[in-house]
Amino acid sequence: NAGVTQTPKFRVLKTGQSMTLLCAQDMNHEYMYWYRQDPGMGLRLIHYSVGEGTTAKGEVPDGYNVSRLKKQNFLLGLESAAPSQTSVYFCASSYHSTENYGYTFGSGTRLTVV
């Protein structure tokens, strides 16, 4: 049982380059989320999805796009990377409503934009 898998684990980008981060879950969860975590700061929600084909903005959506074409996958795209997007990115998933089980998190993607 893999849980939530994020790829890649590490990446260095040059300013202006694009990339896609992949999150895959094998728990049949309805909800999926992308967060970023910066040094000395907590988690900030970028985008989330409450089901296949749906997405919604979180607290800090600018500069990112997402897609949920399949229930098990949630992709986070950076169209034109900026140094301010240097961060650790976490994907999470949950069942319908978060009140009973909370989230299951992936192990993170450490992204550096130079």
Relative to beta strand 104-105, strand 10-13 is: unpaired
Q: Which of 7, 18, 84, 97 binds other proteins (CB under 8 A)?
A: 97
Sort 63 into a burial class: Cβ within 10 Å, 0-12 / 13-18 / 19+. Answer: middle
Spatial contact of 67 and 77, defined as CB atoms under 8 Å apart:
yes
One of 12, 84, 102, 112 touching other proteins (CB under 8 A): 102
Q: Pattern of binders to other proteins over 3-42, x per CB under 8 A?
A: -x--------------------------x-x-------xx
> If binding is defined by CB under 8 A, does position 62 make contact with other proteins?
no
Phi, psi of 84 (to 5 degrees): -65, -10
Does residue 64 bind other proteins (CB under 8 A)? no
Per DSSP (E only), the strands in 54-103 are: 56-57, 64-67, 73-78, 87-94
Give the binding-site size for other proteins (rule: CB under 8 A).
22
CB 67 within 8 A of CB 59: no
**Per-residue string for binding with other proteins, 41-60, x by CB under 8 A?**
xxx-x--x-x----------
Q: Which residues bind other proteins (CB under 8 A)?
A: 4, 31, 33, 41-43, 45, 48, 50, 90, 92, 97-100, 102-108
